[in-house]
Amino acid sequence: MAGRLPENVRLLIINHVENFDALDILLYLRREAPKRRTAEEIGTALKIPVGTVNRRLEAFNSAGFARSEEMSPRQWVFAGDPDQTRAVDDLAAWVARDRATVINMVASRNLERMKSLANAFKLGGKS
């Protein structure tokens, strides 16, 4: 059943889920917690290039959703505070219940970013 995403999920997507890879990586980290995973393990499990995984993990680290253990190789674990954890858990529940609504939200976020970029390059104020 389609519905309106709760505010915490909407804000999570708007502020931290730039694309479908980010969505999958964040949900994977939460699902696997408290296990630690390398970027290579995450990439293999999700079929996402390791470079992309590393960039997303660094972004999630900066935002407080993940932290790395300084081992060789570097290992990552979900590290959200209680509000972040609740938002990610709510996101996971929405993906399970109504994946289309979540996908549409992520896609529309990207569409708005592309429109904004296109508007920045308009010459002479013409549409």
For residue 87, how many C-alpha atoms fall within 13 Å in the half-sphere facing its CB? 22
- Taking a C-beta distance cutoff of 8 angstroms, is the pair 30, 96 a contact? no
What are the structural domains, with CATH classification, of the chain?
Answer: 7-112 (1.10.10.10)
Count of CB atoms within 10 A of residue 88's CB?
A: 24
Q: What is the pLDDT along the chain (127 residues), one digit of tens a residue?
A: 346 999 999 999 999 999 999 999 999 999 999 999 999 999 999 999 999 999 999 999 999 999 998 888 999 999 999 999 999 999 999 999 999 999 999 998 766 665 555 666 665 555 5
Sequence-separated (6 or more) residues with CB below 8 Å from residue 4 = none
- Cβ distance 57 to 48 under 8 Å? no
pTM: 0.84
